[in-house]
Structure 1
Amino acid sequence: MKTVKIFIIVIFILPYISGCSGNEVSKLPYYNTPDFTPEWLSKKDAERMHVISDFSFTDQDGRKVSGSDLKGKIHIANFFFTTCPGICPTMAKNLLKLQKEFGNYNDIKLVSYSVMPWSDSVPNLKNYEKTFGMKNGMWYLLTGKTSEIYELARRSYFAEEKAGFNSDSTEFLHTEHVLLVDKNGHLRGIYNGTLPLDAERLIEDIKILKKET
């Protein structure tokens, strides 16, 4: 009987011991490849995982925004263009649910990269912000050099699963994918930005991510 009691106690305290040792497995998976194969890892093992590359683009206020502005913050990325009549407005409306939920948190950012930067000027991005009521300071609408945005989208965010590393950087990029990135620049989730249910799932995943230390 004494042996059984000791066994039960050990089973009960093991999760706390592993948590303290840094070996606790994450509740949200990590993604390291364009096929989005999920991996549940400890914080130590996650250090070897793929991270979003640095960048420097211009936002809707004409300010330079780089990867360093997102360091230590959770960010949600998507790709759009201001004259898009189809999926882009739908994505924007679904992402506004995140703004409503997390608008008072300084460590959560929304980042929308233009896939038509040759026409999405700073004034056009500013008008888009006003049209949808996007919160300035929380939501970055970015424009820049086409090849750099496309390379970041495909090689860092894996924005197109079927394309991955092999896609021609000049091929037009149009995707409904929304990506969740943690404070260390690791990919932690992929969602369909046109689906309200995925927006709700994303909100719950952000809450989980915020609890990670």
Structure 2
Amino acid sequence: MNKKTGILLITLIVPVFIFLGLKTFGTNHYELPRFIPAIDSTTGEIKMAKRLNPRWNESELDTVFQTIPAFQLTDESGKAFSSKNLQGKIYIANFFFTRCGTICPKITSQVSRATDTFNQDKDIRFISISVDPNYDEPAKLSAYAKRFEADSTRWTFLTGAKKEIYPLILKGFHVPLADASEYDAAIKNPDETFIHSERLVLVDKSGVIRGFYDGTDKKEVDRLIMEIKVLKSIYATE
């Protein structure tokens, strides 16, 4: 065998062995962070609990994370919508109001693009919660949903009592929200009244927050779409 033939054989054979090795022994491990650790109210420390590490089949201490609290609101058709509808689903939440003339249409357009990506996936749901519930009755939500051609089987627009919605958004989804009219009655412009987050929130099947994304930024929403796929891959390998 001459030198050139040997080099050629090595060039051809080595990649084959690398491929076979990866196929036989390689395992892809995806990771996606969890957000908002649970705090022990008596000690002020982060809660820890034992969990089984499936990789090593051993128990280990792990951080306990907060979950989205149970809620019951009203959808765009006027029907009761419970958080139970989202059990066992990956879902994405965003916050808006129909009178918004600034960032809300941008956010809703980006959410619409994300829903199109998963239009055949029954495990993925989207919810849009109004921060102006006194105005955004179901009929207003329905008209807004039609404006963006929302598929009601996968994307739900929600309203309800302000006393339920505001704590849910602030303490459950952990994004900022304020009604400026509560501090200054002279404010009349809706876009100056409701100060809310542009964030989209990714929630896993256990109700734990797995990501925050700027809903006005296409690249950020692209990252959301990618991380939804990563989360699905994690569940598929568990």
Q: Same fold (TM over 0.5)?
A: yes
Q: Percent identity?
A: 35
The one-letter code matched in structure 2 to 1:118 is: N
Instruction: For 1:45 and 1:90, locate their aligned partners in 2 and report how far apart those are by CA, in whole Å.
Output: 42
Match of 2:208? 186
Instruction: For 2:205 and 2:61, locate their aligned partners in 1 and report how far apart those are by CA, in whole Å.
Output: 16
Instruction: For 2:151 and 2:62, locate their aligned partners in 1 and report how far apart those are by CA, in whole Å.
Output: 32
SS of the aligned residue for 2:196 comes to coil
Instruction: For 1:45 and 1:80, locate their aligned partners in 2 and report how far apart those are by CA, in whole Å.
Output: 39
Instruction: For 2:212 and 2:62, locate their aligned partners in 1 and report how far apart those are by CA, in whole Å.
Output: 18
Match of 2:8? none
Matches within 5 A, 1:64-213: 64-160=80-176, 172-213=194-235
Say if 1:79 and 1:112, in contact at 8 Å, map to a contact too.
Answer: yes
Consecutive unaligned residues of structure 1, counting only runs of 5 or more, are 1-8, 35-40
**Greater relative contact order: 1 or 2 (C-alpha under 8 angstroms, separation 6 or more)?**
1
TM-score between the two structures when normalised by the length of structure 2: 0.70
Report the Cα offset of residue 115 of structure 1: 0.3
1:56 paired to 2:72: yes
How many aligned residue pairs are there?
183
Are residues 144 and 50 of structure 1, via their aligned partners in 2, closer, same or farther at CA, if it must alter by over 3 Å?
A: same
Consecutive unaligned residues of structure 2, counting only runs of 5 or more, are 1-20, 39-50, 55-59, 184-193
Instruction: For 2:101 and 2:33, locate their aligned partners in 1 and report how far apart those are by CA, in whole Å.
Output: 33
Report the Cα offset of residue 47 of structure 1: 7.5
Instruction: For 1:46 and 1:127, locate their aligned partners in 2 and report how far apart those are by CA, in whole Å.
Output: 45
Instruction: For 1:102 and 1:148, locate their aligned partners in 2 and report how far apart those are by CA, in whole Å.
Output: 29
Report the Cα offset of residue 66 of structure 1: 1.0
Match of 1:3? none
Instruction: For 2:61 and 2:155, locate their aligned partners in 1 and report how far apart those are by CA, in whole Å.
Output: 31
Say if 2:37 and 2:65, in contact at 8 Å, map to a contact too.
Answer: no
Match of 1:30? 34
Are residues 204 and 115 of structure 1, via their aligned partners in 2, closer, same or farther at CA, if it must alter by over 3 Å?
A: same
The one-letter code matched in structure 2 to 1:29 is: P
The one-letter code matched in structure 2 to 1:151 is: P
Q: Counting strand residues as a fraction of each chain, which structure ranks higher?
A: 2
The one-letter code matched in structure 2 to 1:174 is: H
